[in-house]
Amino acid sequence: MLFPLGSPQRCFWTLLVLTLMVLLLAGLLRVERHTLLLGGQAEGPPITNIMFLKTHKTASSTVLNILFRFAEKHNLSLALPAGSRLHLGYPWFFLARYVEGVGQAGPPRHFNIMCNHLRFNPPEVQKVMPNDTFYFSILRNPVFQLESSFAYYRHLTPAFSAAPSLAAFLAAPHTYYNQSLLRNAHARNHMWFDLGLDPNAPVEESYVRAHLAHVEQRFPLVLIAEHFDESMVLLRRRLRWQLDDVVSFKLNSRSRRSVTSLPPEAQERAKRWCALDWRLYQHFNRTFWAALRAELGPRRLRSEVAQLQERRRVLSALCLQDDAPKNKTQITDARLRPFQSGEADILGYNLREGLDNETLRLCQKMVMPELQYMAHLYTLQFPQKRPKNIPFLKA
């Protein structure tokens, strides 16, 4: 039906259409603003009380750098190793007294962030971390985690040093492995050990299921090293942080020449030898992807990963002399040379020349190896204490 121009009916329908268009546009703008500001994450202030269980050889040094930078940026307190220690009592179970500032005169002290290497011991951790602390960790495929440990801890782990090669070790591990030696922690179910569990326990279904449930209850977020960018998207969402808070460069990585490529049969032996770690990894790989599907969905995940990677490219062009990491002989600033261990050739970075002071500070923090950064933060937090001694920097 056609209404005469200027009739009440025509005016009513015109007004109704305009109103609906305004409401639709307003809704779209609200969604777009929410997406731009929060990246789809939950609203609220950023989480600042955090316990990161830093597992070994799992890209955890890169996560540590992210947490150190966030702590320094927001002037948060860190649970740092006491005195001359460079870790929190590892490989022994963590005790609160391993933290600088704990056990001294005065009221109990709580810290915002704990992220240095330790063997998880919940009652002692809770003595120094607030009740609302967010717990998370990271895992890696145990085949590649074991290969990395063999290279890095070759001369520190009796089971490794006695074996002529990793393949030889995996062919007959009990020939070299003595479970009564704590220094052999790196040689079997290393991630299970870091969680405070028994790496030599029998792989019985009821035992494994019970302890996986316990870990899942304690750590509401477990990241996966092989999917690091997706992990950072999920971490940012859970912590309600900004994009730049989780952008990073890969730290403590090895050159290709110091990586051993294991044949399929050796990989299967590694899975059987580290069966507890393999079950741990399989379980949390499933929960990780389930969380991504539930909280973001494929399209949002691809978009946020792309944003993260683009921001990393921008900062790489801004900070780094070139994209390729360097071995220790090529790094011109001795303060940025990473610690070398075993047969691993640990890489680092050179910064671009001519950076202004503010940019230089930003870039230095992004590439600073963990021991140097920990020593720097220790001095900032405890200026009255003797500075940490990093012996290899004086070599």
Q: What are the average pLDDT values for consecutive 10-residue runs of the chain, which has 395 residues?
A: 52 57 48 38 85 97 98 98 95 97 74 98 97 98 97 95 96 97 97 98 97 98 98 98 97 86 96 98 98 96 98 97 87 90 87 96 96 96 93 62
What is the length of the chain?
395
Whole-angstrom distance, CA of residue 349 vs CA of residue 61:
15
Question: Which pLDDT score, from 0 to 100, does residue 34 have?
Answer: 36
Query: 204-208 — which CB contacts under 8 Å span 24+ positions?
Result: 208/276, 208/279
- The 3-class SS string of 128-150 reads HCCCCCEEEEEECCHHHHHHHHH
Terminal Cα-to-Cα distance of the chain (whole angstroms): 91
Overall CATH class of domain 43-394: alpha beta
Residue 323: name the closest of 333, 332, 334, 312 by CA: 312
pLDDT tens digits, 5-14: 455 555 555 5
Buried b (16+ CB within 10 A) or exposed e, 202-212: eeeeeebeebb
Question: Which pLDDT score, from 0 to 100, does residue 15 have?
Answer: 59
User: Which residue do the tokens 């009513």 mark?
Assistant: 12
Rounded percentage of the chain residues whose pLDDT exceeds 90: 78
The domain segmentation of the chain, as residue ranges, is: 43-394
Whole-angstrom distance, CA of residue 102 vs CA of residue 51:
16
Whole-angstrom distance, CA of residue 88 vs CA of residue 99:
7
Residues 6+ apart with CB under 8 A from 299: none
Helices (H) and strands (E) in the chain, counts: 16, 4
Whole-angstrom distance, CA of residue 37 vs CA of residue 39:
6
pLDDT tens digits, 113-145: 999 999 999 999 999 999 999 999 999 999 999
Residue 244: name the closest of 236, 252, 255, 253 by CA: 236
Question: Which pLDDT score, from 0 to 100, does residue 107 have?
Answer: 61
